[in-house]
């Protein structure tokens, strides 16, 4: 099974900051890596798919990069609505797996 490891598990940031979250797969997953964010009491929402493609309707301050085993989600100019928990997910093989999450706090 492929394990997904995110870092950091939490971070503190301010409005306007640039934030970077990393996700590492235990084996190569090509670019079959997706990013979601989740607010308390809500379902996750897709932000980035296939490592670097922006989901329709998602602000351009979100960007993704990486391939193989190492991936990055960057939020530039952090906005108040971006304080949430972020998850990466691989779809290279089953069992599908999520990272442990990164909580972005003020």
Q: Which residues would be at the binding site for other proteins (CB under 8 A)?
A: 1, 31-32, 34, 36, 42-46, 49-50, 55, 87, 89, 91-92, 94-101
Burial of 61 (0-12, 13-18, 19+ CB in 10 A): middle
Nearer to other proteins, 19 or 97 (CB): 97
Smallest distance from other proteins to CB 58, Å? 12
Smallest distance from other proteins to CB 90, Å? 10
Smallest distance from other proteins to CB 15, Å? 25
Tokens 């971070």: give the residue. Answer: 11
Task: Determine how many CB atoms are found less than 10 A away from the CB of residue 19.
Answer: 19
Q: How far apart are the first and last CA of the chain?
A: 35
């Amino acid at each position: 099974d492929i394990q997904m490891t995110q870092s950091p598990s939490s971070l503190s940031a301010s409005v306007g900051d640039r934030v970077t979250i990393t996700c590492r797969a235990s084996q190569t997953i090509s670019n079959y890596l997706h990013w979601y964010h989740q607010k308390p009491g809500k379902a996750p929402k897709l932000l980035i798919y296939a490592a670097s493609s922006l989901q329709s309707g998602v602000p351009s301050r979100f960007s993704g990069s990486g391939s193989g085993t190492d991936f990055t989600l960057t939020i530039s100019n952090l906005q108040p609505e971006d304080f949430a928990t972020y998850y990466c997910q691989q779809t290279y093989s089953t069992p599908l797996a999520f990272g442990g999450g990164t909580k972005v706090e003020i």
